[in-house]
């Protein structure tokens, strides 16, 4: 693969003017009355209604007003025009998309945008608690007519057919971070939206990588594969382009196909990793990438490695586990991911020794806070006297919450989602879980703001902050968050019977 930068591509041409504020409630931005039809309305009448009202979609509602589906321009193209079926007697319920994806009026607008990107749809309905339609939000409603906006970015990613034209989209996605900060979005919201955009980018890279191999006469072996992200990307907590942590799970090849399958997926992983690197995702220093055969292998070998890691539990195995255990399916055959996830969860759910070892590994280092609620100087950078938010606190919260989630067999990888499930299972009391979530949110938002400042200054990105530079309120939030993280470590020490730290 030869990726080249075209002329004038030194910087992305990207603006965010004119979009709906991401922290607006959906109920506050609904304006035009939604266009509706009944399930038995003729498709031709629906099309005329859309044309007359200059709308791109019609919501199909029951007589009760309950929204049951949506008919879009795409539905007419996919289900009538492309199929060559111009029967004038087709009904709305025959061509509508259902079930309808909907949100409530109290939900924030960023959730609508995230759903549209996640499900690759152009509209989200807004309904009340009885599913009665209140309005519709379209993807294009988020933006002005400016040709350089997020809608253009999404269209660009979907439309591109060359890896060489894709590399600058990573830079364009980065600019959304500042826009969401300006909207006072939560760190968790920023990560959720940026994750969707990164996943869209990676999905397109994978398709183009497959096409590149196909052009060379190489087709994917039978059985399929799954591309996974691990680490912060696996937890959906990535807000800027960081080091790559990824891999490929592929179906066990048949007799005589082992070498062919291994070679195909190694080449696929190599192309994907190089494209991601060109897009600004650095190579993993530990070589945890899909081009490395150790992280690109058939399902059976993944299971073998999980067994080995959980039984050996030497320093290298623990390092591999802490990256791997947050793995998430980004693209491909989800059944392979589901099988490996279930296998992994069963191993750790039934291994008290493995859980204790993971807990002990985290507690080898403590959050740098003392009994007087002050940051311990040993936790600061020795020269710059700054605190590393990631290594000093957030990593410990991730590790501790993960070990509880593994014990309970929780499938989620996102830290907030794990906390929510632990609260549902009454592992943590409601107040405890809420305090932990608030602390993690505070630390994450501080990291994001710090990263945004460094991006704007063009300086090297790191996770260090100078406590003296924080305003009084942020200093209080930081110390409270560090104290909560410290108490979480103490809880882990007692729960999993760790006799040191």
The CATH number that applies at residue 100 is 3.10.580.10
Same domain, 246 and 118: no
Do 249 and 310 sit in the same domain of this protein?
Answer: yes
Tokens matching residue 474: 């942020």
In the three-class reduction of DSSP (H, G, I as helix; E, B as strand; rest coil), residue 22 is classed as coil
In 3-state terms the chain splits into helix, strand, coil percentages (rounded to 5) of 55, 10, 35
- Per the CB < 8 A criterion, the answer to whether 253 and 336 are in contact is no
Are residues 223 and 156 located together in one domain of the fold?
yes
Q: How far apart are CA 396 and CA 369, in angstroms?
A: 13
Integer Cα distance of 257 and 262 in angstroms? 9
Last residue of a domain, one of 276, 304, 322: 322
Encoding tokens for residue 318?
């623990």
16 occurs within a structural domain: no
Beta-sheet pairing, 133-138 with 225-229? unpaired
Residues 90, 170: one domain? no
**Same domain, yes or no: 130 and 237:** no
Residue found by looking up tokens 């802490």 in the block: 322
Indicate whether 318 and 359 sit together in one domain: no
Q: Could you give the C-alpha distances from 166 to 178, 207, 212, 392, in angstroms and in order? A: 22, 12, 14, 36
Q: The domain containing residue 71 runs over which residues? A: 26-142
Say if residue 159 is in the same domain as residue 304: yes
State how far the alpha carbon of 257 is from the alpha carbons of 218, 252, 261, 357, in Å: 14, 9, 6, 38
Q: 252 in a domain, yes or no?
A: yes
Q: Which two tokens stand for residue 456?
A: 């704007």
The answer to whether residue 5 is domain-embedded is: no
Distance CA 186, CA 232 (A): 17
pLDDT digit of tens for each residue in the chain (501 aa)?
Answer: 332 223 233 333 333 334 456 667 888 878 667 899 999 999 989 999 999 998 888 999 988 888 899 998 888 877 776 555 556 678 999 999 888 888 999 887 877 877 887 677 888 889 888 888 888 888 777 654 333 356 667 777 877 788 877 767 767 777 777 777 877 778 888 888 888 888 988 999 999 999 999 999 998 888 999 999 999 999 999 888 889 999 999 999 999 999 999 999 999 999 999 999 988 899 999 999 999 999 999 999 999 999 999 988 888 888 899 899 999 999 999 999 999 999 999 999 888 999 999 999 999 989 988 765 677 755 555 555 688 899 989 999 999 999 999 999 999 999 999 999 999 999 999 999 999 999 999 999 999 998 888 888 877 778 888 888 888 898 899 999 999 999 999 999 999 999 764
Contact 501, 364 (CB under 8 A): yes
Select from 138, 163, 242 the least CA-distant residue to 195. 242
163 and 303 assigned to the same domain: yes
Please report where in the chains the tokens 């939206």 appear, as a residue. 193
Give the distance from CA 332 to its chain's centroid: 15
Give pTM, 2 decimals.
0.80
Look at the chain and report how many structural domains it folds into: 3
Write the burial class of residue 153 (CB in 10 Å: 0-12 exposed, 13-18 middle, 19+ buried). Answer: buried
The CATH number of the domain holding residue 303 is 3.30.460.10
E strands, 102-198, are 102-103, 123-127, 133-138
Q: Do 238 and 159 lie in a common domain?
A: yes
Residues 176 and 299 in one domain: yes
């Amino acid at each position: 693969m030869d990726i080249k930068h075209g002329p004038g591509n030194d910087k992305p041409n990207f603006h965010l003017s004119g979009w709906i504020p991401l922290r607006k409630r959906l109920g506050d931005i609904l304006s035009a009355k939604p266009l509706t039809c009944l399930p038995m309305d003729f498709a031709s009448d629906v099309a005329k209604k859309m044309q007359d009202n200059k709308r791109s979609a019609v919501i199909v509602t029951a007589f009760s007003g309950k929204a049951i589906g949506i008919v879009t321009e795409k539905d007419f193209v996919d289900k009538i025009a492309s199929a060559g079926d111009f029967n004038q007697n087709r009904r709305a319920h025959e061509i509508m998309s259902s079930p309808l994806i909907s949100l409530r009026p109290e939900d924030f607008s960023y959730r609508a945008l995230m759903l549209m990107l996640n499900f690759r749809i152009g509209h989200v309905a807004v309904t009340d608690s009885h599913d009665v339609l209140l309005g519709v939000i379209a993807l294009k409603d988020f933006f002005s007519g400016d040709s350089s906006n997020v809608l253009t970015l999404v269209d660009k990613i979907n439309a591109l057919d060359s890896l060489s034209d894709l590399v600058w989209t990573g830079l364009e996605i980065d600019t959304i971070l500042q826009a969401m900060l300006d909207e006072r979005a939560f760190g968790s919201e920023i990560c959720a939206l940026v994750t969707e955009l990164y996943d869209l980018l990676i999905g397109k890279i994978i398709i183009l990588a497959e096409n590149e191999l196909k052009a060379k006469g190489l087709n994917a072996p039978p059985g399929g594969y799954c591309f996974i992200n691990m680490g912060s990307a696996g937890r959906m907590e990535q807000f800027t382009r960081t080091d790559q942590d990824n891999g490929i799970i592929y179906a066990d090849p048949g007799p005589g196909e082992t070498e062919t399958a291994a070679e195909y997926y190694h080449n696929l992983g190599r192309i994907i990793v190089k494209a991601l690197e060109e897009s600004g995702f650095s190579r993993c220093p530990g070589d945890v990438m899909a081009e490395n055969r150790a992280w690109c292998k058939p399902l059976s070998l993944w299971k073998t490695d999980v067994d080995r890691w959980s039984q050996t539990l030497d320093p290298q195995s623990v390092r591999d586990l802490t990256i791997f255990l947050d793995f998430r399916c980004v693209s491909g055959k989800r059944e392979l991911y589901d099988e490996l996830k279930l296998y992994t969860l069963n191993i750790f759910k039934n291994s008290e020794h493995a859980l204790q070892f993971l807990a002990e590994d985290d507690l080898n280092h403590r959050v740098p806070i003392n009994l007087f609620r002050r940051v311990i100087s040993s936790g600061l950078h020795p020269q710059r006297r700054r605190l590393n938010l990631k290594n000093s606190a957030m990593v410990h919260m991730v590790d501790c919450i993960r070990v509880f989630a593994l014990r309970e067999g929780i499938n989620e990888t996102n830290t907030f989602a794990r906390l929510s499930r632990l609260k549902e299972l009454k592992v943590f009391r409601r107040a405890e879980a809420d305090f932990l979530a608030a602390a993690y949110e505070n630390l994450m938002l501080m990291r994001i703001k710090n990263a945004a400042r460094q991006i704007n200054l063009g300086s090297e990105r790191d996770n260090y902050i100078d406590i003296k530079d924080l305003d009084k309120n942020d200093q209080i939030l930081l110390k409270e968050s560090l104290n909560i993280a410290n108490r979480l470590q103490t809880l882990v020490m007692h729960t999993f019977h760790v006799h040191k730290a």
